[in-house]
Amino acid sequence: MGRRAAVLGHPIAHSLSPALHRAAYAALGLEGWRYDAVDVTADALPAFLAGLDDAWAGLSLTMPLKQTVLPLLDHVEPLADVVGAVNTVLVQAGAGTGVAGGPVLVGANTDVYGIVTALQEGLRDRPRGRRPGDGPAGAPADRTAAVLGAGATAASCLAALAQLGCTTPVVYVRSMGRIGSLMRAAHRMGVEPRYAPLAAAADEFGAADLVVSTLPAHAADDVAAGLGAAVASRAAGIASRAAGGDGPHGVLLDVVYDPFPTALSSAWARAGGVVVGGDRMLLHQAAEQVRLMTGLVAPVEAMAGVLGARSVHR
């Protein structure tokens, strides 16, 4: 018998999740399974969850629902609880006790898995010998990291970077007055970031081994321009921290996948760094959702096929 699943958010028409999950269902031979995109606001989420029944296997959540959903669930898995964000809801048989009622709703976070796996792909593409300890295996004790942005995705980035050995990243933010939630999440994780204004990123972040930009499209354009200027200065013989000495040697994961490449991704690639597109993070977090919702190993290559040439690292 088929099951239902969907991605919820507002707006949602741009989402690639339906194409990814449907490709997985087809490759796995799951006849009768369906996956839809449903526009749901934060205010409408409780009513939507209350209408779920046992025909549902799970939900994918995007903005603005990843935090709104927390008090509506019966259980929240430890990683999602620590991060403070749920992007996956598993619908399980039984009588739920949460605010929404209906079946048992379990919250999980696959964004962390998606970020870790995407960065690991970039590390495999990173030229060896640029720094002591470089190479695809292991996590050097001195590996450095930076995060651009302090929204819900930034907390998942901190957890992912911690798994890769970076527990003291620099977080560049547009407003120091809006980092309270991220600071609390970092404390729960045992991560100790340094917070700095986004304007400072152009002078510093190029030297990092791992960089994740969680900023929306065009929000990092000034940082990209600063990196380009720093590289030009380096070429002219002027020392610059942003240029990373001999140029960016690290991996940039830009979570924006449309439009791609962004100005930041293009500037990083021109300067010599490795770029991983946001669609790789999307792919791997969706693959983990497929595994959790179906109980089957996700067909990653079949799912990647729907993303096309944008999946290629630069």
Active site residues: 66
Query: What's the angle, vertex CA 81, arms to CA 75 and CA 82, rounded to 5?
Result: 160
- Token pair for residue 13? 């028409």
Residue 206 · residue 242 · CB < 8 Å: yes
Where does 12-151 have alpha helices with state H?
A: 17-28, 45-50, 78-83, 111-125
What is the end-to-end Cα distance of the chain in Å, rounded? 42
Q: Give the strands of the sheet with 56-61, arranged side by side.
A: 34-39, 4-9, 56-61, 88-92, 104-108, 75-76
- CA dist., res. 149 & res. 78, Å (int): 24
What tokens appear for 113 in the block?
């898995």
For residues 205 and 171, the answer to whether their CB atoms sit within 8 Å is no
Distances (CA, A) of 80 to 94, 188, 193, 210, 302: 22, 11, 19, 22, 27
Q: Give the integer Cα–Cα distance in Å for 46 and 69.
A: 8
